[in-house]
Amino acid sequence: MSQDKLGPFLQKNWIGSTDSYKDAKIVMVGLPFDGTCSYRPGSRFAPERLRLASWGLEDYSPVYDRHLDDVRFYDAGELEFPLGNTQKTLDVIEKNAKVIFNDNKKFLGIGGEHLVTLPAVKAAAEKFENLAIIHFDAHTDLREDYLGEKLSHASVMRRIGEIVGFENIKQIGIRSGLKEEFELMKRYNTVANNLSDLDAIKNKKIFLTIDVDVLDPSVLPGTGTPEPDGLLYRELAQWIKSLKDFDIIGADIVELAPDYDKSEVSTATVSKIVRDVLMIL
């Protein structure tokens, strides 16, 4: 047998991924779930497309002057979910996040829709005291429920606030929601317009959650609920870079719906955001 004479082959994992779970500092897990999406579904396809698109990136980031190879992350693949059963899906995520946190690694979720953040935060809250959330999004996601459903991507921050306390949530880029949601934001002072607005959580353990619709739809048409007047890529990248000194124990990037952008620029853009987040974890 001469298998070793074959090749050279292109790789099937994320660019820069290490082959060893054991040696990895960060574990990337695909979360292909979009079951509570209120408008346009399709974020289930984001993790596999981002993997393909990652090979359009360079391994080297001039902004961080660093290679992905040096980051030591492990691409574990996509989880398999029981379609149509929201609760069981969340349970699978929570179980996996717990394993990763217990192995003293950082969790990096690749959504899927925003509800996938809930079980990851639950697992983090079990492991870490003093947990706070940095939340990029166009939408408040603070509804009590959506048509009676408490487990919805439109309610995910409400559920998370019930776990970590709303005063421990900082929100960036919000521009759509109900009147009562904006009032809740005001009450708990969740809005962060600049870095100093994050001072209150500076010394906490941070879970970073980026709903990519925080970006302007011109930059990211491929998402379920595009909302005009968003951040440019540059603005989001600068925010991410400024978080370098926070103690981020986990993160996720959610709500890319690749099929709604046939130019695939949305996927390329989010793959670069994933690279940026890897650089600061």
Contacting a copy of itself within 30-69 (CB under 8 A): 30, 32, 34-42, 44-45, 48, 52, 56, 58, 60, 62, 65, 67
What are the distances in angstroms from CA 29 to CA 1, 5, 151?
A: 34, 32, 21
**Exactly one of 25, 70, 83, 130 binds a copy of itself (CB under 8 A); which one?**
83
According to the binding rule CB under 8 A, does residue 217 interact with a copy of itself? Answer: yes
3-state secondary structure 221-246: CCECCCCCCCECHHHHHHHHHHCCCC
Pick from 69, 154, 82, 160: nearest CA to 117: 160
For the bound state, the minimum distance from the C-beta of residue 158 to a copy of itself, rounded and expressed in Å, comes to 15
Q: Of residues 102, 130, 203, 242, which one binds a copy of itself by CB under 8 A?
A: 102
- Burial zone of 182 (CB within 10 Å; 0-12 exposed, 13-18 middle, 19+ buried): middle
Assess 115 for contact with a copy of itself (CB under 8 A). yes
What are the backbone dihedrals phi and psi of residue 259, each rounded to the nearest 5 degrees, phi first? -70, -15
Note whether 152 binds a copy of itself by CB under 8 A. yes
State which of positions 256-275 bind a copy of itself (CB under 8 A). Answer: 259-265, 268-269, 272
Q: Among residue numbers 116 through 145, which ones bind a copy of itself (CB under 8 A)?
A: none
**26, 79, 160, 243: residue in contact with a copy of itself (rule CB under 8 A):** 79
CA dist., res. 82 & res. 77, Å (int)? 16
Nearer to a copy of itself, 159 or 204 (CB): 159
Among 119, 173, 177, 250, binds a copy of itself (CB under 8 A): 177
Stretch that binds a copy of itself, among 119-127, 195-203, 219-227, 247-255 (CB under 8 A): 219-227
Name, in order, each residue with C-beta under 8 angstroms of 232's C-beta and a sequence gap of 6 or more. 215, 216, 219
C-alpha 99/C-alpha 107 separation (Å) is 10
Exactly one of 137, 141, 211, 216 binds a copy of itself (CB under 8 A); that residue is 216
Query: Distance (Å, rounded) from C-alpha 132 to C-alpha 134?
Result: 7
- The answer to whether residues 170 and 208 touch, using CB atoms and an 8 Å cutoff, is no
Among the listed residues 28, 124, 219, 277, the single contact to a copy of itself using CB under 8 A: 219
Q: How far is CA 130 from the centre of its chain?
A: 20
Q: Which CB sits closer to a copy of itself, 135 or 204?
A: 135
**Considering beta carbons, is residue 221 or 280 the nearer one to a copy of itself?**
221
For position 190 contacting a copy of itself by CB under 8 A, the verdict is: no
CB of 159 to a copy of itself, least distance (A): 13
Minimum CB–partner distance for residue 8 and a copy of itself (Å): 5
Measuring CA to CA, how many Å separate 146 from each of 17, 130, 182, 238?
38, 29, 16, 33
